[in-house]
Protein backbone atom coordinates (compact mmCIF):
# COMPACT_ATOMS: atom_id res chain seq x y z
CA UNK A 1 0.00 0.00 0.00
CA UNK A 2 2.81 2.41 0.86
CA UNK A 3 4.51 1.60 -2.44
CA UNK A 4 1.35 2.58 -4.32
CA UNK A 5 1.23 5.93 -2.51
CA UNK A 6 4.90 6.50 -3.30
CA UNK A 7 4.39 5.72 -7.01
CA UNK A 8 1.31 7.99 -7.10
CA UNK A 9 3.28 10.80 -5.46
CA UNK A 10 6.16 10.47 -7.96
CA UNK A 11 3.72 10.36 -10.88
CA UNK A 12 2.02 13.57 -9.77
CA UNK A 13 5.39 15.20 -9.19
CA UNK A 14 6.72 14.38 -12.66
CA UNK A 15 3.47 15.29 -14.42
CA UNK A 16 3.35 18.68 -12.70
CA UNK A 17 6.90 19.57 -13.76
CA UNK A 18 7.17 21.66 -16.94
CA UNK A 19 9.97 22.39 -19.33
CA UNK A 20 11.78 25.61 -18.37
CA UNK A 21 12.04 26.58 -22.02
CA UNK A 22 8.26 26.88 -22.37
CA UNK A 23 7.86 30.65 -22.81
CA UNK A 24 4.12 30.60 -22.16
CA UNK A 25 4.51 29.39 -18.59
CA UNK A 26 6.13 32.53 -17.13
CA UNK A 27 4.11 35.12 -15.30
CA UNK A 28 4.75 38.71 -16.25
CA UNK A 29 6.37 40.73 -13.47
CA UNK A 30 4.04 43.07 -11.62
CA UNK A 31 4.94 46.73 -12.00
CA UNK A 32 5.03 48.43 -8.56
CA UNK A 33 3.66 51.64 -10.13
CA UNK A 34 0.59 49.76 -11.34
CA UNK A 35 0.10 48.20 -7.91
CA UNK A 36 0.44 51.60 -6.21
CA UNK A 37 -1.88 53.26 -8.74
CA UNK A 38 -4.57 50.67 -8.05
CA UNK A 39 -4.10 51.03 -4.30
CA UNK A 40 -4.68 54.79 -4.52
CA UNK A 41 -8.08 54.37 -6.20
CA UNK A 42 -10.96 55.30 -3.90
CA UNK A 43 -12.25 58.08 -1.71
CA UNK A 44 -9.93 59.22 1.05
CA UNK A 45 -11.05 61.11 4.15
CA UNK A 46 -9.20 63.44 6.50
CA UNK A 47 -11.04 62.25 9.57
CA UNK A 48 -8.65 61.86 12.48
CA UNK A 49 -7.98 58.20 13.10
CA UNK A 50 -9.18 57.66 16.66
CA UNK A 51 -10.40 54.78 18.73
CA UNK A 52 -8.67 52.08 16.70
CA UNK A 53 -6.33 49.80 18.57
CA UNK A 54 -2.85 49.82 17.01
CA UNK A 55 -3.47 53.05 15.08
CA UNK A 56 -1.76 56.15 16.42
CA UNK A 57 -4.09 59.13 16.78
CA UNK A 58 -2.86 61.90 14.54
CA UNK A 59 -4.03 65.29 13.31
CA UNK A 60 -5.01 64.96 9.68
CA UNK A 61 -3.45 68.20 8.35
CA UNK A 62 -0.40 70.21 9.30
CA UNK A 63 1.14 73.33 7.78
CA UNK A 64 4.78 73.85 8.73
CA UNK A 65 4.23 71.43 11.62
CA UNK A 66 1.18 73.26 13.02
CA UNK A 67 -2.27 71.66 13.08
CA UNK A 68 -4.68 73.12 10.51
CA UNK A 69 -8.37 72.28 10.92
CA UNK A 70 -9.96 74.09 7.94
CA UNK A 71 -9.41 71.05 5.68
CA UNK A 72 -10.93 68.48 8.06
CA UNK A 73 -14.08 68.00 5.93
CA UNK A 74 -12.09 67.54 2.73
CA UNK A 75 -12.25 64.32 0.73
CA UNK A 76 -9.86 63.24 -2.02
CA UNK A 77 -11.14 60.86 -4.68
CA UNK A 78 -8.60 59.13 -6.89
CA UNK A 79 -9.72 57.14 -9.92
CA UNK A 80 -8.27 55.43 -12.96
CA UNK A 81 -5.03 54.90 -11.00
CA UNK A 82 -2.49 52.84 -12.90
CA UNK A 83 1.19 52.95 -13.82
CA UNK A 84 0.28 55.82 -16.18
CA UNK A 85 -1.17 57.92 -13.35
CA UNK A 86 -4.82 58.87 -12.92
CA UNK A 87 -7.27 61.60 -12.05
CA UNK A 88 -8.29 63.16 -8.76
CA UNK A 89 -11.02 65.37 -7.40
CA UNK A 90 -11.56 67.04 -4.05
CA UNK A 91 -14.56 68.21 -2.06
CA UNK A 92 -14.43 70.85 0.68
CA UNK A 93 -10.82 71.62 -0.18
CA UNK A 94 -10.83 75.16 1.32
CA UNK A 95 -8.04 76.54 -0.91
CA UNK A 96 -7.59 75.82 -4.64
CA UNK A 97 -3.88 76.76 -4.42
CA UNK A 98 -3.30 73.96 -1.93
CA UNK A 99 -5.63 71.35 -3.44
CA UNK A 100 -7.30 71.98 -6.81
CA UNK A 101 -10.91 70.86 -7.22
CA UNK A 102 -9.85 68.37 -9.91
CA UNK A 103 -6.85 67.37 -11.97
CA UNK A 104 -4.62 64.58 -13.15
CA UNK A 105 -1.52 63.04 -11.67
CA UNK A 106 1.41 60.91 -12.80
CA UNK A 107 4.20 59.07 -11.04
CA UNK A 108 7.38 61.12 -11.01
CA UNK A 109 10.77 59.61 -11.90
CA UNK A 110 9.27 56.07 -11.92
CA UNK A 111 9.00 56.30 -8.12
CA UNK A 112 5.83 54.87 -6.57
CA UNK A 113 6.14 57.35 -3.70
CA UNK A 114 6.44 60.50 -5.85
CA UNK A 115 3.52 62.03 -7.73
CA UNK A 116 3.32 65.10 -9.93
CA UNK A 117 -0.08 66.81 -9.98
CA UNK A 118 -1.30 68.55 -13.14
CA UNK A 119 -0.85 71.93 -11.40
CA UNK A 120 2.90 71.26 -11.16
CA UNK A 121 3.00 70.42 -7.43
CA UNK A 122 5.23 67.46 -6.57
CA UNK A 123 3.85 65.17 -3.84
CA UNK A 124 5.63 62.63 -1.69
CA UNK A 125 3.23 59.87 -0.68
CA UNK A 126 3.25 56.92 1.68
CA UNK A 127 0.37 54.47 1.28
CA UNK A 128 -0.02 51.78 3.90
CA UNK A 129 -2.47 49.11 4.96
CA UNK A 130 -3.42 48.67 8.57
CA UNK A 131 -5.11 45.29 8.79
CA UNK A 132 -6.82 44.31 11.98
CA UNK A 133 -8.09 40.87 10.98
CA UNK A 134 -11.22 41.17 13.10
CA UNK A 135 -12.30 44.42 11.43
CA UNK A 136 -12.37 45.98 7.95
CA UNK A 137 -9.08 47.03 6.39
CA UNK A 138 -7.94 50.60 6.87
CA UNK A 139 -5.63 52.17 4.32
CA UNK A 140 -3.67 55.28 5.19
CA UNK A 141 -2.21 57.78 2.75
CA UNK A 142 0.25 60.41 3.93
CA UNK A 143 0.84 63.16 1.37
CA UNK A 144 3.57 65.77 1.84
CA UNK A 145 4.26 68.69 -0.46
CA UNK A 146 5.49 72.27 -0.51
CA UNK A 147 3.72 75.35 -1.83
CA UNK A 148 4.92 78.93 -1.99
CA UNK A 149 3.28 81.92 -0.35
CA UNK A 150 5.06 84.96 -1.72
CA UNK A 151 8.74 84.24 -1.12
CA UNK A 152 8.13 81.67 1.60
CA UNK A 153 7.83 77.92 1.20
CA UNK A 154 5.04 76.24 3.13
CA UNK A 155 5.27 72.51 3.95
CA UNK A 156 1.96 70.66 4.03
CA UNK A 157 1.22 67.17 5.34
CA UNK A 158 -2.18 65.54 4.77
CA UNK A 159 -3.01 62.22 6.43
CA UNK A 160 -5.91 60.50 4.73
CA UNK A 161 -7.61 57.22 5.54
CA UNK A 162 -10.12 54.98 3.83
CA UNK A 163 -11.84 51.92 5.15
CA UNK A 164 -12.90 48.87 3.23
CA UNK A 165 -16.25 47.24 3.81
CA UNK A 166 -14.75 43.84 4.52
CA UNK A 167 -11.40 42.65 5.87
CA UNK A 168 -11.38 40.03 3.10
CA UNK A 169 -12.15 42.33 0.16
CA UNK A 170 -9.01 42.43 -1.96
CA UNK A 171 -10.59 44.79 -4.48
CA UNK A 172 -10.86 47.82 -2.25
Find out whether 142 and 126 touch, Cβ atoms under 8 Å.
yes
pLDDT computed for residue 53 by the predictor: 45
Residue 23 in any domain: the answer is no
Residue 101 in any domain: the answer is yes
Residue 131 in any domain: the answer is yes
Residue 7 in any domain: the answer is no
pLDDT computed for residue 55 by the predictor: 46
Summarised one tens digit per residue, pLDDT across range 73-111 is 899 999 999 999 999 999 998 899 999 999 999 999 999
pLDDT computed for residue 72 by the predictor: 84
Q: What are the DSSP calls for 71-108, one per residue? A: TTT-EEEEEEEETTEEEEEEES-S-TTTS-SEEEEEEE
Summarised one tens digit per residue, pLDDT across range 118-170 is 999 999 999 988 766 667 788 899 999 999 988 999 999 999 998 776 555 55
pLDDT computed for residue 166 by the predictor: 59
Find out whether 67 and 82 touch, Cβ atoms under 8 Å.
no
The CA distance from 75 to 92, in Å, is 7
Residue 1 in any domain: the answer is no
User: What is the span of the domain harbouring residue 55?
Assistant: 31-163
More confident residue, 47 or 102: 102
Instruction: State the pLDDT confidence band at 28, using cuts at 50, 70 and 90.
Output: confident
Is it the case that residue 67 has pLDDT exceeding 70? yes
Q: What angle is formed at CA 136 by the lines to CA 132 and CA 137, rounded to 5 degrees?
A: 65
Number of domains in the chain: 1
pLDDT computed for residue 168 by the predictor: 58
CATH number at residue 81: 2.40.128
Residue 38 in any domain: the answer is yes
Residue 172 in any domain: the answer is no
Residue 19 in any domain: the answer is no
More confident residue, 23 or 63: 63
83-122 b/e (C-beta count within 10 Å ≥ 16 → b): bebbebbbeebbeeebbbeeeebebbeeebeebbbeeebe
Instruction: State the pLDDT confidence band at 25, using cuts at 50, 70 and 90.
Output: low
Amino acid sequence: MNLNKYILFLSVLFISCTDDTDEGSYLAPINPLDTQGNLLNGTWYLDPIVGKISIKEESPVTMDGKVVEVFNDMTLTISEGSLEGGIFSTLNNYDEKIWPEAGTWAFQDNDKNKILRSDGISLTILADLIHNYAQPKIYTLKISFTTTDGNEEVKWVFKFARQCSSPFNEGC
